[in-house]
Chains A and B, each alone.
Chain A
Amino acid sequence: MKLKLIALAVTAALATTAQAQISDKVVKIGVLTDMSGVYSDIAGQGTVEATKLAIEDFKAQAKPDFAIEVVAADHQNKGDVSSNKAREWFDREKVDVITELVTTSTALAVMKVAKEKNKLALISGAASTRITNEDCNDVTVHWTYDTYAVSNGTAKAVVKQGGKSWFFLTADYAFGHSLEKDAAEVVTANGGKVLGAVRHPFPGSDFSSFLLKAQGSGAQVIGLANAGADTMNSIKQAAEFGVTPKQSLAGLLMFISDIHGLGLKTTQTMYMTDGFYWDMNKETRDWSKRYFDKMKKMPTMVQAGMYSAVMHYLKAVKAVGSDDTQKVMAQMKKTPVNDFFAKNGKIRDDGRMVHDMYLVQIKKPEESKYAWDYYNVRATIPAAEAFQPLSASRCPLIKK
């Protein structure tokens, strides 16, 4: 480890003397996220704080000779707002990297602008596997999770428990479609059956007529291919219309903030897949406590992943001594990601950062001993299995 550090330092020093090329001596990070909408709990201000924590730690550890600035904006979950903002940030504000980008439409929009302007996009909150498949490019890293990773573990576990027939309640945009598709594949591959799907507008408020459809299908399991407030509402209204407990619900993408909002009474014994849990070990607890002091909430995987991505990026900038997009990207792909969030994480050529995921089951109220004590971690899904294998990739950058 030490040797490696020295080696890194030497390369860094060499690179710096060779060409110190950080434009204006400033690295500028733009956090583009949902500040006020349905995903503001999952991502939002918390990702800005996580970014600041990463910069703070990086400055303390690496003593960089460049300044680091952060700008943040609300993309309102809209592709056009994000695209405009990204263009403006790259063109006029000299932003080097845009991060976060919860909701797939904003991520896809910004990736395109980043490619055009040859700048970086580090995606934490968006979920669609399109980001590293059809729409992949060489300036984007998809950091925290994707629809394949979260549906894979959960759907498999539920089918194994005997939930063989499924019906999907899907949010009608790229993310929902992607989640439904990935989960349906897992269900059929494990011997289950998909009876149908119904699509609801995003963001929705009244799910009753869609739930009646799901009820009418007679499926054992209703897969919720939505997220955030939509998932929470579907779960609540399912209880109102007597859908549960006759049929069971499977939240395909849930975050610890959803569990916190719904309470353990409603969510107990549900399975879900998460990329991070604050109460795993001392490292995660230490960082999460720092985060908690700022936000008064425990971090979701999106917020924790944000820290990891920004840290890795800054280390790479320091190592190559330049904010040149391609050089930094090459360095980031070369170096394994090692921090409290990921162990030996690797950025693949399709832009997917692969790391371990966790299959968790929600605790019963009586099992929860202290605040935010919500998960029983049932299994660690190793990085190699957690994400879509490269052999199935539809990314043009992957040569087969």
Chain B
Amino acid sequence: MTDFFGVPLPALFGQLVLGLVNGSFYAVLSLGLAVIFGMLNIINFAHGALYMMGALFTWMFMEYLGIGYWWSLVLAPLSVGIIGIAIERLLLQWLYKLDHLYGLLLTFGLALILEGFFRHLYGVAGQPYSIPDELSGAINLGFMFLPKYRAWIIFASLAVCLVTWYVIEKTRLGAYLRAATENPALTQAFGINVPLMVMLTYGFGVGLAGLAGVLAAPATQVGPLMGSNLIITVFAVVVIGGMGSILGSILTGLGLGLIEGLTKVFYPEASATVVFIIMAIVLMFRPAGLFGREK
């Protein structure tokens, strides 16, 4: 077995794969944040809580209704999306004319409500969710042991990211969306129902969070607090990438996951903070973010 700077290769690749798994979550979540921000000018603090709900719904479907993983993969993001649409119609739409900070504050309140509610129901301890039979077990790659489920997370997240990117950048629907982002009034004048698009965008954005939640359910414990710490890291990812571009947020998410994985190999003490340190450095030299433009 060979070494790489004194680190055995299996350990290095293992951590890199795990980094990529985390990076996939960062990518899907920051993508959702970017899509919502582009359209609503709101930073969705409830994103972590909605991610948690995606996972919790998956668990509840199984526990109470006997619905398995594959159906949950569709149903849970859909449910989260519908809840998102309700949130947008009932609460967020009253804030569009105010300072953007109020959107952050409102969604922060929402995050507290959702987190507290599920904590009340299930306690802080996680609920276990088993890996679907088709994906259990591992592939021995010779240089490392790759659990099939982790590979699936990476594959599924990348697919979702690419489809989203394609829809927004390459289709007619995406063109309307981008137009509405640039100039809502003008787009409305062209006969496009902008409020409807805003609503659906929010629903789609949080649906992505819900999907990430489903993917996470078998890999970690499903618990009410799983989203809140993750979302702060994702905020840092968003600041690093800048929210200007869809592809930018995907790449930043994956890249930072990998860097985190490397840190776990070479200097594990910093693995929790490395993303924030990078954010500080980016702020010093490129305040608008790697892919952002200063407005």
- A212–B268 Cα distance when bound, in Å, is 12
- Contact at A205–B147, with CB atoms within 8 Å? no
- A122–B125 Cα distance when bound, in Å, is 25
- A38–B221 Cα distance when bound, in Å, is 12
- Contact at A40–B125, with CB atoms within 8 Å? yes
Binds B, one of A86-94, A153-161, A235-243: A235-243
Q: Does B160 sit at the interface, judged by CB under 8 A? A: no
- Contact at B15–A229, with CB atoms within 8 Å? no
- Contact at A205–B220, with CB atoms within 8 Å? yes
How near does chain A come to B139, taking the closest CB pair, in angstroms? 10
- Contact at B125–A36, with CB atoms within 8 Å? yes
Interface residues of B in 135-179 (CB under 8 A from A): 136, 138, 140, 145, 147, 149-150
- A35–B18 Cα distance when bound, in Å, is 33
Partner of A229, one of B18, B125, B150: B125
In the complex, per-residue mask of A213-227: 1 if CB is within 8 Å of any chain B CB, else 0: 101100000000000
- A205–B224 Cα distance when bound, in Å, is 12
In the complex, per-residue mask of A7-37: 1 if CB is within 8 Å of any chain B CB, else 0: 0000000000000000000000000000111
In the complex, per-residue mask of A225-268: 1 if CB is within 8 Å of any chain B CB, else 0: 00011001100100011100000000000000000000000000
Partner of A205, one of B18, B140, B223: B223
- A41–B271 Cα distance when bound, in Å, is 31
- Contact at B220–A206, with CB atoms within 8 Å? yes
How near does chain B come to A320, taking the closest CB pair, in angstroms? 40
- Contact at B145–A242, with CB atoms within 8 Å? yes
The residues of B that contact A40 with a CB separation of less than 8 Å are 123, 125
Q: Does A344 sit at the interface, judged by CB under 8 A? A: no
Q: Does B219 sit at the interface, judged by CB under 8 A? A: yes
Interface residues of B in 248-272 (CB under 8 A from A): 261, 264, 268, 271
- Contact at A38–B11, with CB atoms within 8 Å? no
Q: Does A208 sit at the interface, judged by CB under 8 A? A: yes
- Contact at A212–B149, with CB atoms within 8 Å? no
Partner of A209, one of B125, B136, B220, B264: B264
The residues of B that contact A242 with a CB separation of less than 8 Å are 138, 140, 145, 147
- Contact at A216–B138, with CB atoms within 8 Å? no
- A40–B124 Cα distance when bound, in Å, is 10
How near does chain B come to A295, taking the closest CB pair, in angstroms? 16
- Contact at B220–A212, with CB atoms within 8 Å? no
Interface residues of B in 82-141 (CB under 8 A from A): 119, 123-126, 128, 131, 136, 138, 140
- Contact at B145–A37, with CB atoms within 8 Å? no
Q: Does B279 sit at the interface, judged by CB under 8 A? A: no
- Contact at B125–A212, with CB atoms within 8 Å? no
- A38–B11 Cα distance when bound, in Å, is 30
| Chain A: interface size category | 20 to 34
Residue among A209, A228, A236, A241 with most chain B CB within 10 A? A209
Given the interface pairs A205-B220, A205-B226, A242-B138, the reply to whether A212 lies near B11 with Cβ below 8 Å is yes
- A241–B15 Cα distance when bound, in Å, is 12
Q: Residues of B within 8 Å of A, CB-based: how many? A: 29
Q: Please report whether the interface of chain B is mostly helix, strand, loop or mixed according to DSSP.
A: mixed
Whose C-beta in chain A lies nearest to the C-beta of B145? A242
The residues of A that contact B125 with a CB separation of less than 8 Å are 36-38, 40-41, 203, 228-229
- Contact at B8–A233, with CB atoms within 8 Å? no
Given the interface pairs A212-B14, A216-B8, the reply to whether A240 lies near B123 with Cβ below 8 Å is no
Whose C-beta in chain B lies nearest to the C-beta of A38? B125
Whose C-beta in chain A lies nearest to the C-beta of B264? A209
- Contact at A241–B11, with CB atoms within 8 Å? no
Interface residues of B in 207-231 (CB under 8 A from A): 219-221, 223, 226
How near does chain B come to A279, taking the closest CB pair, in angstroms? 26
The residues of A that contact B10 with a CB separation of less than 8 Å are 215-216
- Contact at B124–A236, with CB atoms within 8 Å? no
- Contact at B124–A208, with CB atoms within 8 Å? no
The residues of A that contact B219 with a CB separation of less than 8 Å are 206
The residues of A that contact B119 with a CB separation of less than 8 Å are 36
- A212–B147 Cα distance when bound, in Å, is 12
Whose C-beta in chain A lies nearest to the C-beta of B19? A209
The residues of B that contact A37 with a CB separation of less than 8 Å are 123-125
In the complex, per-residue mask of A32-53: 1 if CB is within 8 Å of any chain B CB, else 0: 0001111011000000000000
How near does chain A come to B224, taking the closest CB pair, in angstroms? 10
- A233–B128 Cα distance when bound, in Å, is 9
- Contact at A212–B138, with CB atoms within 8 Å? no
How near does chain A come to B21, taking the closest CB pair, in angstroms? 8
How near does chain A come to B280, taking the closest CB pair, in angstroms? 22
The residues of A that contact B126 with a CB separation of less than 8 Å are 205, 229, 233
Residue among A35, A198, A233, A241 with most chain B CB within 10 A? A241
Q: Told that A205-B223, A233-B128 touch, could you supply 13 new A-B pairs with CB distance under 8 A? A: A41-B125, A76-B124, A205-B126, A205-B226, A212-B18, A213-B268, A216-B11, A216-B14, A228-B125, A233-B221, A236-B128, A241-B147, A242-B147
Chain A residues within CB distance 8 Å of chain B? 35-38, 40-41, 76, 198, 203, 205-206, 208-209, 212-213, 215-216, 228-229, 232-233, 236, 240-242
Chain B residues within CB distance 8 Å of chain A? 8, 10-11, 14-15, 18, 119, 123-126, 128, 131, 136, 138, 140, 145, 147, 149-150, 219-221, 223, 226, 261, 264, 268, 271
Give 23 pairs: A residue, B residue, CB < 8 Å, sorted on A.
A36-B119, A36-B123, A37-B123, A38-B125, A40-B125, A76-B124, A198-B268, A205-B126, A205-B220, A205-B221, A206-B219, A209-B15, A209-B18, A209-B261, A209-B264, A212-B15, A213-B11, A216-B8, A216-B14, A229-B125, A240-B147, A242-B140, A242-B145
